[in-house]
Chain A
Amino acid sequence: MDIFFFLVFAAIALISAVNVVLQRHPIASALSLIGVMGSIAVLYLLLGAEFIAMAQIIVYAGAVMVLFIFVIMLLNAGAEVRRGRSWTSQLLGIPALLAFVGLIVLFVQRGFADAGYVKFGNFTGGSAQSVGLALFTSYLLPFEVTSVLILVAILGTIVLARKEMD
């Protein structure tokens, strides 16, 4: 059952990721990226990280991607013009990409062959309570630093994107 859900959502993630790279219109890429994020959130649930899964949907799919879609709609970004590609580059490039991916699969499989299995329910340390406890005790300093980072990012964004008042 675990393998079935993993294969389904990994397939959705891979197809959406390929779609992000291959689609010409930015809105189609953005919607495919939302699909990737959603399926990765389900994979997090399978890995027992329930808080991070919901944070992924709330922050990434629900806020960051809305920002992307707003910018695409406001800038009226159109579809990319498909330029001519040389046949040799496609003929050499696609087998090279597949060989590269195959090498990655081989090395990861060989390196992590006995790393254990992921069964739904065998890791319960991903609840909101354990994440919150770790964030506010062992990782308190990075947490406060990231809040300063967010403040700086807000200031930078407002300064960059405002209309010049002369």
Chain B
Amino acid sequence: MPEALQALNNGVPIAWYLILSAVLFALGVAGFLFRRNIITVFMCIELMLNAVNLSFVAFSNQHKLVSGQIFTFFVMVVAAAEAAVGLAIILTVFKNRQTLNIDEINSLKN
């Protein structure tokens, strides 16, 4: 028992952060595959990107380098740009098809 309390004093094992990141990523993939609304699918993509960011920052802490956080910064920037363009595409699709259900947007011809 005292050694368990001693182990608690060390901090959180890095593996726990990686497990959390993996589980969030898996939830993002599940949402991406199963949801029908385009915008919710987009939000699951953002969830996946956040999970990966958490992984990067955990590794940056493990190796005591700042490079992991730089990668996180770039992933954030790319995700923001992608969200803007993707939502503009969704707006255009909605203007043309009047639906947000990806099952119904299944033909290239209008």
Chain A residues close to B by CB (< 8 Å): 2-3, 6, 10, 13-14, 17-18, 20-21, 26, 29-30, 33, 36-37, 40, 43-44, 46-49, 51-52, 55-56, 59-60, 63-64, 67-68, 71-72, 74-75, 77, 80, 97, 100-101, 104-105, 108-109, 111-113, 115-120, 122-123, 125-126, 130-131, 134-135, 139, 142, 146, 149-150, 152-154, 156-157, 160-161
Contacts and interface: CB of A to CB of B under 8 A. Distances in A.
Give the one of B11, B17, B67, B91 with max A CB within 10 A.
B11
Interface of B: 8, 10-20, 22-24, 26-28, 30-31, 34-37, 39-40, 42-44, 46-47, 50, 53-54, 57-58, 60-62, 64-67, 69-70, 72-74, 76-85, 87-92, 94, 100-101
Contacts of B92: 160-161
Nearest to A163: B95
Contact of A33 (B34, B37, B47, B77): B47
10 contacts: A10-B20, A14-B20, A20-B44, A33-B46, A77-B37, A117-B12, A119-B11, A122-B11, A135-B73, A153-B84
A133 B62 CA distance: 20
Give the one of A30, A52, A146 with max B CB within 10 A.
A52
Given A43-B54, A97-B26, 10 more contacts: A10-B20, A49-B69, A51-B69, A71-B90, A75-B91, A104-B26, A116-B14, A131-B69, A149-B77, A160-B89
A55 B72 CA distance: 10
Contacts of A126: 60, 66, 69
A154 B77 CA distance: 13
B87 A67 contact: yes
A146 B74 contact: yes
A145 B88 CA distance: 22
Contact of B11 (A3, A60, A63): A3
Contacts of B54: 40, 43-44
A112 B15 contact: yes
A104 to B, nearest CB: 5
Give the one of A17, A48, A108, A142 with max B CB within 10 A.
A17
